[in-house]
Amino acid sequence: MLTQEQYKLYTGQTVNFSESDWEALVSVALMRLASLLCLEELPTTDESGVVTLPADFALLLANFICAVLRFQGNGDAVESKHVRNFTINFKTSSATDAFSQIATQYSDIIEKYSQCNIGVKVEKSAPRCCYGRI
């Protein structure tokens, strides 16, 4: 799992949670990140069941936690845009904001681990034959 020391190394932010609170926070963030990446299992787990993450995935997880903590307790924020005498009010989702913040910075790591939209891709390089002809 990710330790508070690793979190500080990867994000530059210091946190001071009790061990049980930190484990709960990392566990929830890890499952949420796995869900956002459409992962059915974590990148690496050793035989004893202890989760050992690759360094790049741990970096992604730490920065995801950092982004989530930034929005903690804020709920959905309401933003307004004014254009001349027209105003638009809209809500921003904190979960979406947290993931979108890391998506731009760590797109290469996300692409490496994401299983979303993966399937069989068929490429047609030859034109189809006309019906009734060979």
pLDDT at residue number 65: 92
Instruction: Say which residue the tokens 């709960």 belong to.
Output: 24
pLDDT at residue number 116: 86
**Residue 48 vs residue 110, higher pLDDT:** 110
Tell me the C-alpha distance between 3 and 13, whole Å: 13
Q: Which of 9, 35, 19 is nearest to 98 (CA)?
A: 35
Q: Where are the alpha helices (DSSP H) in the chain?
A: 4-11, 19-36, 55-71, 94-105, 107-113
Tell me the C-alpha distance between 55 and 15, whole Å: 20
pLDDT at residue number 119: 47
Pick the range with the lowest mean pLDDT from 43-47, 68-72, 86-90, 125-129: 125-129
pLDDT at residue number 1: 81
pLDDT at residue number 122: 44
**Residue 44 vs residue 74, higher pLDDT:** 44
Q: What is the mean pLDDT of residues 100-127?
A: 73
Handedness of CA 121, 124, 129, 134 (dihedral sign): negative
Please, which pLDDT band fits residue 77 given cuts at 50, 70 and 90? low
Residue 98 predicted with pLDDT over 80: no
Q: Which of 18, 61, 21 is nearest to 39 (CA)?
A: 61
pLDDT at residue number 10: 94
Long-range CB contacts (within 8 A, 24+) of 85-88: none
pLDDT tens digit sequence for 16-31: 999 999 999 999 999 9
Question: Hey, how many other C-beta atoms are within 10 angstroms of the C-beta on 36?
Answer: 18
